[in-house]
Amino acid sequence: MASKLKEGTSNACNIQVLHKTCEVNETLRNISPRWKMQILHSIKQGTRQFSLLKEAFPSISDQILAKRLSELIMDELLNKTAINETVPQQIAYTTTKKGEELLKIINKLHDWQVSWH
């Protein structure tokens, strides 16, 4: 989920026009916020807790990391699970089937980009 836009702005109008002409633009807008795909990929690779994600991406703020994790959950790309045997209770994140399918596509896009540069 991308950030909300103010109605009536030229950016909001442009997004509506792009959505009407090519729905792929909405998909790209939803997955393109900084860190979003890196976080999803890192969780798929085994970095499943907030503190470990912070270590993996030290320049990301806690606020942005939490926001991106929430967006990925709302987009149904991640699951959030409490680890009951820990004190204090910790949270683990795992990719959903939908998230894993998206990562396959992202990896293909990456391969395409590499082959042309």
Interacting residues of 55 by C-beta distance below 8 A, sequence separation 6+: none
Q: What's the mean pLDDT when you consider all of the chain?
A: 89
- Give per-residue pLDDT as tens, 63-80: 999 999 999 999 999 999
What pTM, to 2 d.p., does this model score?
Answer: 0.81
Residue 96 has pLDDT above 70, yes or no: yes
Task: Tell me phi and psi for residue 62, to 5 degrees.
Answer: -55, -40
User: What is the rounded CA–CA span in Å between residue 63 and residue 90?
Assistant: 18
d(CA 113, CA 110): 5
Enumerate domains of the chain plus CATH numbers: 33-110 (1.10.10.10)
